[in-house]
Amino acid sequence: MPNIAVLPGDGIGREIMPQALRVLQAVVKDLPETWEFSECLAGGAAIDALGKALPEETLKVCHQADAILLGAVGGPKWDTLPGPERPEMAALLGLRKEFGLYANIRPVKMLPYLLDASPLKRERVENVDMVIIRELNGGLYFGEKGRKTNPPAAYDTMIYSEDEIRRILHVGFKTAQARQKRLCSVDKANVLETSRFWREVANQVATEYPDVELSHMYADNAGMQLILNPSQFDVMVTDNTFGDLLSDIASVLGGSIGMLSSASLGEKIGLYEPAHGSAPDIAGKNLANPLAMILSVASMLRHSFARHEAAAKIEQAIDRVFAAGYRTGDIAKPGDKVLGTKEMGDAVLEALR
Ligand code: IPM
Ligand code: MG
């Protein structure tokens, strides 16, 4: 009996999660097993109610779950807290570390109906279909960090062990093997020692995948290539920091970051969340695009439960909604029927029927 921990979090997380849950419930009700959902607090909401962004109760529920759904965490109210107590670090990075979620999968695919929502010319983006694989448990995010006095200074340490690099490269090669068999490893080997090491390890791992073509690219160039010629990429694998930056850049190729889902996988359970944040500027206004969250649910059905048909049903429903001309504000062009968060949820549910 699948048990899902549901963490809406803060800001628009609280608006998109209910829509994603309605969609999930609608597709799993046709499955033979009973699905259970346990909702709990995380992020700023948990700080306000329980004094901590990742309370013990929440951790306990997550440990008993088969998968975690997360909305988004953080907001201006908690921005002045010391780094380690902030919702992003304590809750999000806390969960990534606690569950060893080292492989972050972010698929960027141009949906035909959204061609005109892309800020780039149609001919540049029409063939975009790539996956960004971001290392999520190491590097700059988790290395030693701190402040110094006299003179005042601050530091974050970038460190990668061979094992950490190796395991994410395996995910990259395996993903490429199941696709176009092209893997681009992104680093900054002209400057960083961690990157030179990353390249060495990547070249070693490559010998185990003779059918996959491995290339290397500097991160700055990768940012430029994503704009100039994004369809050259099949699978991109990179470290925590570069993956964060490049996945935000890549997300707008397909129209909006509001469409980008994200799966964080480890040895045991997976965490599924939209790649965007809590968007305090539009929170509470029924303006947010719930589709990245809904697509994250589809990703969960695929990666954690091998429910490929149920996942495809959701994706096809979204396609039908687009075909009927419905959009949220972030992906709308003149003439489209613009829906709010809840109404987009209604539309996807309607299309599922
Ligand atoms: C992401 C987000 C997070 C990250 C933030 C909210 C800590 O930007 O998942 O890409 O930097 O990993
Ligand atoms: Mg990010």
Task: List the pLDDT tens digit at each of the 353 positions of the chain.
Answer: 999 999 999 999 999 999 999 999 999 999 999 999 999 999 999 999 999 999 999 999 999 999 999 999 999 999 999 999 999 999 999 999 999 999 999 999 999 899 988 999 999 999 999 999 999 999 999 999 999 999 999 999 999 999 999 999 999 999 999 999 999 999 999 999 999 999 999 999 999 999 999 999 999 999 999 999 999 999 999 999 999 999 999 999 988 999 999 999 999 999 999 999 999 999 999 999 999 999 999 999 999 999 999 999 999 999 999 999 999 999 999 999 999 999 999 999 999 99
In this structure, are strands 235-238 and 129-135 parallel, antiparallel, or unpaired? parallel
Q: Catalogue the E-assigned strands of 23-137.
A: 36-39, 67-72, 103-109, 129-135
Q: Please, what is the Cα angle at 264 between 260 and 269, to 5 degrees? A: 135
Q: Please, what is the Cα angle at 30 between 28 and 34, to 5 degrees? A: 55
Q: Catalogue the E-assigned strands of 233-269.
A: 235-238, 261-265
CA 279 from chain centre, in angstroms, equals 15
**Phi, psi at residue 299, to the nearest 5°?**
-65, -40
Residue 90 burial class via C-beta count within 10 angstroms: exposed 0-12, middle 13-18, buried 19 and up: buried
Q: Report the pLDDT value the prediction gives residue 343, as an integer from 0 to 100.
A: 98
Max alpha carbon distance in the chain (Å)?
66
Residue 193 burial class via C-beta count within 10 angstroms: exposed 0-12, middle 13-18, buried 19 and up: exposed
In this structure, are strands 3-9 and 36-39 parallel, antiparallel, or unpaired? parallel
Helix (H) or strand (E) holding 187: strand 182-187
CATH homologous superfamily of 1-111+258-353 equals Isopropylmalate Dehydrogenase (3.40.718.10)
In this structure, are strands 153-156 and 145-148 parallel, antiparallel, or unpaired? antiparallel
85/90 Cα distance (integer angstroms): 5
Q: Is 218 a catalytic residue?
A: no
Tokens of 229: 């010629």
Helix (H) or strand (E) holding 28: helix 13-28
Q: Which atom of ligand 1 is nearest to the CA of 243?
A: 10
Q: Which atom of ligand 1 is nearest to the CA of 247?
A: 10
In the chain, which segments carry CATH 3.40.718.10?
1-111+258-353, 119-254
For residue range 2-25, list pLDDT tens digits in order.
999 999 999 999 999 999 999 999
Binding pocket residue ranges, ligand 1, CB within 6 Å: 88, 92, 244, 275, 277
The CATH class for the domain spanning 119-254 reads alpha beta
67/304 Cα distance (integer angstroms): 7
DSSP reduced 3-state for 346: helix
For the chain, the residue count is: 353
319 near 348, Cβ under 8 Å?
A: no
Q: Report the pLDDT value the prediction gives residue 269, as an integer from 0 to 100.
A: 95
341-352 and 13-28 are packed helices; what angle lies between their axes, rounded to 10 degrees? Answer: 10
The residue whose CA is least distant from atom 11 of ligand 1 is 244
Best of 68, 92, 95 to mutate for ligand 1, by most ligand atoms within 8 A of CB? Answer: 92
Q: Report the pLDDT value the prediction gives residue 254, as an integer from 0 to 100.
A: 85
Instruction: Calculate how far, in angstroms, residue 244's C-alpha sits from the geometric centre of ligand 1.
Output: 6
Q: Report the pLDDT value the prediction gives residue 161, as an integer from 0 to 100.
A: 98
The residue whose CA is least distant from atom 4 of ligand 1 is 244
One-letter amino acid at 322 equals F
344/314 Cα distance (integer angstroms): 13
Q: Which residues surround ligand 2, an ion (CB under 5 A)?
A: 244
Best of 244, 251, 265 to mutate for ligand 1, by most ligand atoms within 8 A of CB? Answer: 244
